[in-house]
A and B are shown apart, each in its own frame.
Chain A
Amino acid sequence: MHVFLRENVRLISMEENQELEQAKKERRLVIPGDHLGDEQAGHGTYVVEGKVYSKYIGLAEVRNGKHIVIPLAGVYSPKRGDGVIGKITDIIFQKWIVDINSPYEAVLPLSDAVEGFVDLTKEDLTRYFDYGDIIFAEISNVNRQKQVQLSMRSPKCRKLWGGRLIKVTPAKVPRIIGRQGSMVEMIKKLTGTQIVVGQNGIVWVRGDNEDLAAETVLTVERLSHKGGLTDYIKETLEKKVAELKPVKDEEKVEEAEENLEESGEEEL
């Protein structure tokens, strides 16, 4: 019985393996200027005389009948619908200018950020978002001139208080999130921290074990090309968390004091 079970398990993993192999075959390594086909053009491609070419060095695939290229490295190129973490750099009339870790800066209009009526003659916009504030927002539109518009309408969009930011390569973000969020959920659970991942390669971490979580995120980025990464990270992280336990109390007091200060700010 036991032997039978084990064989069964192996069979499943082999099937999974085949699926993975299949997925890899469908993705093709391309360089800028490679001809992809004559169908619809998606992200990371350009069209000349009805033919679709690749814009980046990356993996080409067909998704929903569209040719897309996922770049292997490089800076973040804004895309509609992406959730990004940004920093407020300027306030102009009724909008905020946000640095989204990209060559193009983003604009957050007042109407997309705050509910209800705001009397600009009486109110100061720094009341909502001040210079240097970190926000999580969604990209609502990117036009041809690469002017990026943000929106805070989605329920997950908010201001991020305290914590620390980590920079990673934007191309590695899917790996940090993992399949259906498996990787980031696991790190959150084991370290007991809050983590928000922006598609633009900025990760926000807050909690008692901030440093450990940050270290883990950077390890995932460094080893992103390896298979079975979630299990490996889980194993090493469990060990480290067990080592950390004794010192935790001291840190907690410090953190609690910081939290008190922060909540004070929030009320203002």
Chain B
Amino acid sequence: MIEMDDLLIRKLVKRGKRLDGRNFDAYREVSIETNFINSAEGSARLRLGNTEVVVGVKMGIGTPYPDTPDEGVLVVNAELVPLASPEFEKGPPGEESIELARVVDRAIRESKCIAFDKLCIEPGKAVWMVNVDIDVLDDDGNLIDASCMAAVAALATAKMPEYEKNDDSYKVNFDKKSESLPMKCLPISTTFVRIGDAILADPALDELNAMDARLTIGTLDDGKEIKLCSMQKGGSNGLAVGQVEQIIDLAIEKGKELRKIVKAEKE
């Protein structure tokens, strides 16, 4: 895979251009397909330009954490398979896949979009465990936004299986699925990079390799106003206060656009 020269990207950005001809604040085309894996409770396959991710939501019954005995458990896991990019290797998860899983987890958890109190079956003994598995099929940059959007779409369209009680233990009946997962809002994460003095939305792989700093912001819409719920900074250089403010404004604006796409998929 031939990588583009950092200097070329910087030169182009100075002239107000991007490699693929997009505007600085434009996202690549998004297409989602939901509920295409029958064995999972919810699933989504999302393409963001040439980036492609698959997310599966699997549910089971387990014991809650002692500090939150009456709340369900969310586990997010990300897998960067060698199929996705020549850079990815087999073996234990690397720094990049751990960051991906944690940032997506944070956007979903801190937005409190899943009503965890409704996922309690018997306080202190049995609650629903929600496993979100992210698999990257093609990496062309901005995996965080693609994965987060796919994860939220998969959660929003997931159907909860029914369970039976045998004496003291609970058994899940995966053949019967009825209610949807209780979701309160749709968190969306948006990623921006700083190259020189310019702020670019939805960085492609070559732009991520040439960036100075990266900032991911998660936003949610609770019906009244738009709130920020998560943040992650990457890259070795810093951001000025003005630039962070500019990114927050852009994140709110772009979050609205992307939320519409996920919302359309939910209905």
Which of chain B's residues has its CB closest to A132's CB? B5
With an 8 Å Cβ cutoff, the count of chain A residues facing the other chain is 15
B15 within 8 A of partner (CB): yes
Main secondary structure of the interface of B (DSSP, over half): loop
Which of chain B's residues has its CB closest to A211's CB? B17
> Given the known A-B contacts A211-B15, A218-B20, A218-B21, are A164 and B8 also in contact in the complex, defined by CB atoms under 8 Å?
yes
Q: Are A215 and B21 in contact (CB under 8 A)?
A: yes
State in angstroms the CA–CA spacing of A100 and B1 once bound together. Answer: 7
State in angstroms the CA–CA spacing of A231 and B220 once bound together. Answer: 47
Select which of A101, A211, A214, A215 is within 8 A of B2 by beta carbon.
A101
State in angstroms the CA–CA spacing of A87 and B23 once bound together. Answer: 28
B12 within 8 A of partner (CB): yes
State in angstroms the CA–CA spacing of A87 and B20 once bound together. Answer: 20
A-B contact count (CB 8 A): 26
Q: Are A87 and B2 in contact (CB under 8 A)?
A: yes
Q: Are A211 and B1 in contact (CB under 8 A)?
A: no
User: Chain A CB within 10 Å — which of B2, B4, B20 has the most?
Assistant: B2
Residues of chain A with a CB closer than 8 A to B4's CB: 165, 167
Instruction: Tell me which residues from 190 to 219 in chain A have a Cβ below 8 Å from any Cβ of chain B.
Output: 202, 211, 214-215, 218-219
Select which of B5, B12, B20 is within 8 A of A211 by beta carbon.
B12
Residues of chain A with a CB closer than 8 A to B15's CB: 211
A34 within 8 A of partner (CB): no
A99 within 8 A of partner (CB): yes
Binding site for A on B (CB under 8 A): 1-2, 4-5, 8, 12, 15, 17, 19-21
Q: Are A99 and B21 in contact (CB under 8 A)?
A: no
State in angstroms the CA–CA spacing of A215 and B21 once bound together. Answer: 6
Q: What are 11 A-to-B residue pairs whose CB atoms are below 8 Å?
A: A86-B2, A99-B2, A101-B1, A165-B2, A165-B4, A165-B5, A211-B12, A211-B17, A214-B21, A215-B21, A219-B21
* Nearest CB of A to B257, in Å: 21
**What are the 6 A-B residue pairs with the smallest beta carbon separation, nearest first?**
A101-B2, A87-B2, A164-B8, A218-B21, A215-B21, A99-B2
Binding site for B on A (CB under 8 A): 86-87, 99-101, 164-167, 202, 211, 214-215, 218-219
Residues of chain B with a CB closer than 8 A to A100's CB: 2
Residues of chain A with a CB closer than 8 A to B21's CB: 214-215, 218-219
Which of chain B's residues has its CB closest to A214's CB? B21
* Nearest CB of B to A103, in Å: 8
State in angstroms the CA–CA spacing of A167 and B4 once bound together. Answer: 9
Q: Are B17 and A167 in contact (CB under 8 A)?
A: no
Which of chain A's residues has its CB closest to B1's CB? A101
State in angstroms the CA–CA spacing of A87 and B4 once bound together. Answer: 10
Residues of chain A with a CB closer than 8 A to B1's CB: 99, 101
Q: Are B2 and A202 in contact (CB under 8 A)?
A: yes
Q: Are A167 and B12 in contact (CB under 8 A)?
A: no
State in angstroms the CA–CA spacing of A101 and B4 once bound together. Answer: 11
Residues of chain B with a CB closer than 8 A to A164's CB: 5, 8, 12
* Nearest CB of B to A144, in Å: 22
* Nearest CB of A to B180, in Å: 35
> Given the known A-B contacts A211-B15, A218-B21, are A167 and B8 also in contact in the complex, defined by CB atoms under 8 Å?
no
* Nearest CB of A to B198, in Å: 15
Residues of chain B with a CB closer than 8 A to A165's CB: 2, 4-5, 8
* Nearest CB of B to A97, in Å: 13
Residues of chain A with a CB closer than 8 A to B5's CB: 164-165
